[in-house]
Amino acid sequence: MAPTLFRIKICGITNLADACLAAEAGADAIGLNFYPGSPRCISKETARDIVEALPAHVAKVGVFVNMPVPDVARLVDGLQLDWIQLHGDEPPEAIAELSPRRVIRALPCGQGALPRVVQYLERCAALSALPAALLADAAAGAAYGGTGRTANWDQLAPPREWLATMSLVLAGGLTADNVALAIAAVQPDAVDTASGVECLPGKKDRDRLCEFVAAARHAFA
């Protein structure tokens, strides 16, 4: 398993070619989406081919939306994924049930959403089930992410006492053109993009992907 949190994640990988492209470009994590309502949803068989082909240092993240916890656990363990990303309406109890697997909890962080995020994390803390990381995404309604909208950077900027020991992954509308600005403004531990490096939903664009990774790596450096 990847020992630490990644820094640059390319999400919504749907095929082996794009997975290899992300790894070759220097991304240190890929997201595999198992939500049937997403245009980036992939099968277990395709996911297995991708996981087996990628080097160990590239973290494999399973993205789930409201899937029953036992099904998530079976899929993650069977594929030997490094991280679980819960991107739906999962309660804190789901994080507790998935322990000791490492969970990234995606929550919408649009204008005025921070109090709800803090309340959710307080419920997690009460169960001793804080996620390993919070993924701050834009409010997306029924789409559950991948819309290209940006999160509210101002409310995510340091100081972030409410985040406690958790890492912050910034997502939502990140592209090669704005990722450096986002990293400077928010100072996240990692960044995550899907639609920002695509030519079509679920199909990555080589130039956009390579430019995004290079811009993010330079900004983090």
DSSP annotation string for 93-130: HHHHHHTTS-EEEEEE--TT-HHHHHHHHHHHHHTT--
Taking CA 184 as the corner, what is the angle to CA 31 and CA 136, rounded to the nearest 5 degrees?
A: 40
Structure tokens at 99: 């322990």
In 40-61, which positions are buried (b, 16+ CB within 10 angstroms) versus exposed (e)?
A: bbbeeebbeebbeebeeebbbb
Round to whole Å and give the CA distance between 59 and 192: 13
Side-chain-side CA neighbours of 83 within 13 Å: the count stands at 32
Round to whole Å and give the CA distance between 156 and 121: 15
- Asked whether 146 and 194 are in contact (CB, 8 A), the reply is yes
Q: Which helix (H) or strand (E) holds 213?
A: helix 206-220
Pick the catalytic residue: 28, 137, 189, 192? 137
Catalytic residue status for 137? yes
Catalytic residue status for 210? no
* Residues forming a β-bridge with 105: 86, 134
- Among all residues, which ones are annotated catalytic? 11, 137
